[in-house]
Structure 1
Amino acid sequence: MLRWTLALLAIAAVLAVFWWLSLKPSNHRDWADEVSRTLRGSVQGSLVTLHDIRDFDWRSETDYTARWHDDVYDLDDLSSVDMALSYWMGPAIAHTLVSFGFTDGRHLAFSVEIRKERGEAFSSLGGFFKQFELSIVAAQERDILHVRAGPRGEQVFLYPVRMPAQARRALFLSYVARANRLADEPRFYHTLTANCTTLVYDMVRPLVPGLPLDIRLILSGYLPEYLYSHGGLDTSLPLETLRARANITRLAAERADSAEAFSRRIRTPRK
């Protein structure tokens, strides 16, 4: 009896391995509207041309106008980088976004997300088992920050990050390179190893030698503490002061006709 039980377990294990290996990522599915297009970019000198930047007008989670456009960014005009955190499941878990600012007043946010199929919902457990493909979205802040603070009712914080000009430039180019790679070679999202924070860490680590692994990269709600302890935020002020100033939930919950006006509004100085 024991021999048959062991044999059946061995067969089940082999079948499970074959099933796992048979799961392949794809760029060709019936995608949800907000991830229906794949970001691509090309670089010529300091100019980066991006295709399929998202700029949805969200009235609610289900009522929106889908808008996509192409645009050109001059990296010589790249002037700032901000980290946005959107809290949707308590203080320990937040979605991480990185937004780049330019001297002409434009801002562009990058977000590493699951690429949901139509009707699909996020599942942390499913993220361990190849349920979702990975997506890099480039979007206007009035889209990607507003939908979280407004229609989704999340708490959104925006922190200016201290980063040298060359590092800012390299990080922007790293996002473009990763997006191009995903467009050609899709891969799966993974809840722990390929998510909205760990992939950003992978891109930042070559730019900041010695940047350590830390549990706060998994418990991403505590990223402000991580950045503060490593000089990524303004350490001349207490972290709690920075956190209070970073809370843009109320400002981001309001829609805006102009992308530049939205970005200015959420950066209104706060005491």
Structure 2
Amino acid sequence: MTRAQLLLRTVLGVLVAGLVVVSGVWGAFALWYQAPGGRPGRAVCSGLWVLLLVALAWLAAGGEARVALAGYLVAQALALLWWRSIRPSHQRVWADDVAQLLHGQVEGHRATLHHVRNFTWRRDDDYDVRWETRVYDLDHLAGADAILSYWDSPAIAHAMISFGFDDGRHLVFSVEIRKKRGEAFSEIGGFFKQFEMILVAADERDIVRVRTNVRGEDDYLFPLVLQPATARALFVSYIDAANALVARPAFYNTITSNCTTLVYRMARQLNPGLPMDPRLLLTGYLQGYLRDNGAIDASEPAAVQRARARITERARRSGPHDDFSRAIRAPA
């Protein structure tokens, strides 16, 4: 065997080993998050999968490479068939704040939305439940803002779009996980079909105030630079996206179907030249992406703009009977 052949064999061996390790880790996580039987059942299934791969590796090391390869391919094929059989559903016991599915109709300039959320939050587990039907006149749509809400890392934020009308009303659209009752968010679980996706429409007093005043998050509001026709088209796109989710449930995915990727896909319909960018995933840096693509004002330094955009303290100072939307937009 020549040196080149030996090198090629070594490289191929490393690539195959890497593929086996990656698929093995994927299978272990998939079983951990999706196998039946609760936590004990998931632990057993995930552990058995790891033992199977170790056994196949032992066979390969003992000279039974073909048997090991065949066993691995069969196991992986069965795992993929099982994975494809896991489907999203609307029929689960949902947490109260995601229990209803937004849907709507647009007739001329009149948009009717059903199941707009208007909760009053005192704590995460203490709130008044209100789901409402709202009518909005799109001829009176005055503009839109991007809201970024940070809870831990400066690289990760939850992104929402708030539409303002000339009568002072604001409606926020937010792509979120549809939590089952008692369930908590997991970034890793978001890769493994743990959550369905939901599009929530809510008052700023509900969906922003719960983050700043109840959950202790840090929020920033950036006015978007949009032509009226573009803002209107984006508003209608949200209704279309909500109706599509009602017709066909979908899983949330931490990378491919999250709070920014859906908005990006809608925005691409309005501006096909809008580029992909790592900041669409590292949403904590979304301000820079919006500045670079003309979606928000870039005439002042980013740090100055960011300081002005911070609404956390204004939100926390607002009283229960104040006009919340006006309070968070008041001069600092």
Shared fold (TM-score, shorter chain, > 0.5): yes
* Cα deviation digits, residues 1-44 of structure 1 (max 9, x gap): 33332232122111111111111011110001110000010111
Q: 1:99 aligns with which of 157, 162, 173?
A: 162
Matched, 1:10 2:73: yes
* Cα deviation digits, residues 41-100 of structure 1 (max 9, x gap): 011110000001001111111111111111100100000100000011211100000000
What is the CA distance between 1:254 and its match in structure 2? 4.9
Partner residue, 2:331: 269
- Structure 2: how far apart are the matches of 1:18 and 1:49? 41
Cα pair 2:161 2:172 within 8 Å, conserved: yes
Please list, as runs of the form range in 1=range in 2, the aligned pairs for 1:247-258 lying within 5 A after superposition: 247-254=310-317, 256-257=319-320
* Cα deviation digits, residues 193-246 of structure 1 (max 9, x gap): 110011111111122241111111010111111111122112222221111111
Cα pair 1:146 1:254 within 8 Å, conserved: no
Find runs of 4+ consecutive structure 1 residues off by over 4 angstroms: 254-259
Matched, 1:117 2:180: yes
Cα pair 2:170 2:203 within 8 Å, conserved: yes
Matched, 1:197 2:260: yes
* Unaligned runs of at least 5 residues, structure 1: none
What is the CA distance between 1:162 and its match in structure 2? 0.4
Give 1:250's aligned amino acid: E
- Structure 1: how far apart are the matches of 2:126 and 2:205? 16
Cα pair 1:51 1:70 within 8 Å, conserved: yes
Please list, as runs of the form range in 1=range in 2, the aligned pairs for 1:92-241 lying within 5 A after superposition: 92-241=155-304
- Structure 2: how far apart are the matches of 1:114 and 1:185? 15
SS of 2:123 mapped into structure 1: coil
Cα pair 1:146 1:255 within 8 Å, conserved: no
Partner residue, 2:92: 29
- Structure 2: how far apart are the matches of 1:44 and 1:218? 35
Mark the structure with the bigger radius of gyration: 2
Q: Report sequence identity in percent.
A: 54
What is the CA distance between 1:175 and its match in structure 2? 0.2
- TM-score when normalising by structure 1: 0.96
Normalized per residue, which structure has more helix? 2
* Unaligned runs of at least 5 residues, structure 2: 1-63
Cα pair 1:52 1:69 within 8 Å, conserved: yes
SS of 1:250 mapped into structure 2: helix
SS of 1:253 mapped into structure 2: helix
Give 1:194's aligned amino acid: S
- Structure 1: how far apart are the matches of 2:81 and 2:315? 47
Matched, 1:87 2:187: no
- Structure 2: how far apart are the matches of 1:92 and 1:234? 21
Give 2:328's aligned amino acid: I
SS of 2:256 mapped into structure 1: coil
Cα pair 2:318 2:327 within 8 Å, conserved: no
Cα RMSD of the aligned pairs, angstroms, is 1.3
- Structure 2: how far apart are the matches of 1:148 and 1:255? 14
Cα pair 2:149 2:218 within 8 Å, conserved: yes
- Structure 1: how far apart are the matches of 2:73 and 2:197? 32
- Structure 1: how far apart are the matches of 2:261 and 2:268? 10
Q: Which has the higher contact order (CA 8 A, sep 6+)?
A: 1
Give 2:185's aligned amino acid: F
